Structure 1
Amino acid sequence: MRITCPNCGERDRREFYYQGDALALDRPAEDAGAAVWDDYLHNRTNPAGDTCDMWFHEAGCGAWLIVERNTVSHAVHKVTLAEKAKR
């Protein structure tokens, strides 16, 4: 899979560190309980199809990116710098 970094251009995905779902960044409250924290820390969805993920350009410019891609075809649809993404 190739990811086009807005700063560095097209690179192999091995230059990047996958962080997870960009839309599920909400942490539980401190007092949410052990079961809620266990679920947050250890369970991940594994969707087949279009996703919106956070990636870190570890071996490049050090930017955080939001990558919209398809997990079945490995097609990358859009890459945005996280700092410029709409919130």
Structure 2
Amino acid sequence: MLLLECPCCGQRGEETEFHCGGEAHITREGPGADDAAFENYMFERVNPKGVHLERWRHVHGCGKWFHAARDSATLEVFGTYAAATHRPPEELLETIRAKRPGFKWRELA
């Protein structure tokens, strides 16, 4: 079972209280995007076995979006942070790298 803490309201709960919105820190292209950019947005995703950065929404709580870093193999949650940030907090990245040496994530390598 996945236990998450919403960084917006501080409530902690099971994953059924939240909704996963896919990969975090990607550019979400809209109707004005060219074909190549929209194709990249739709189909070019990472699906690692290991640490994954995701968007989550607290649907049965404050309703706000946030990001979470978790291990897709063990379900260990390393932390959550506000969705308005463009990259994970450095303390969170240090925690992940300490537990998972060699961790790389797209441009955050």
**Which range, TM-score by smaller chain?**
0.7 to 0.9
Q: Deviations over 1:44-66 (max 9, x none)?
A: 43211101111011111111111
Residue of structure 1 in register with 2:105 after alignment: none
Aligned with 1:9 (options 8, 11, 15): 11
Q: Which has the higher contact order (CA 8 A, sep 6+)?
A: 1
Which runs of no fewer than 5 residues in structure 2 stay unpaired?
88-109
Q: Any gaps of 5 or more consecutive residues in structure 1?
A: none
Q: TM-score, normalised by structure 2?
A: 0.63
Structure-2 change in CA distance of 1:38 and 1:77 (3 Å): same
Percentage of identical aligned residues: 26
Q: Comparing both structures, which one devotes a greater share of its residues to strand?
A: 1
| Alignment: residue pair count | 85
Choose 62-71 or 24-33, whichever is displaced more. Answer: 24-33
Q: Provide the secondary structure at the position in 2 that maps to 1:14.
A: helix
Which shows bigger deviation, 50-59 or 40-49?
A: 40-49
User: Higher helix fraction: Structure 1 or Structure 2?
Assistant: 2
CA RMSD of aligned residues (A): 2.4
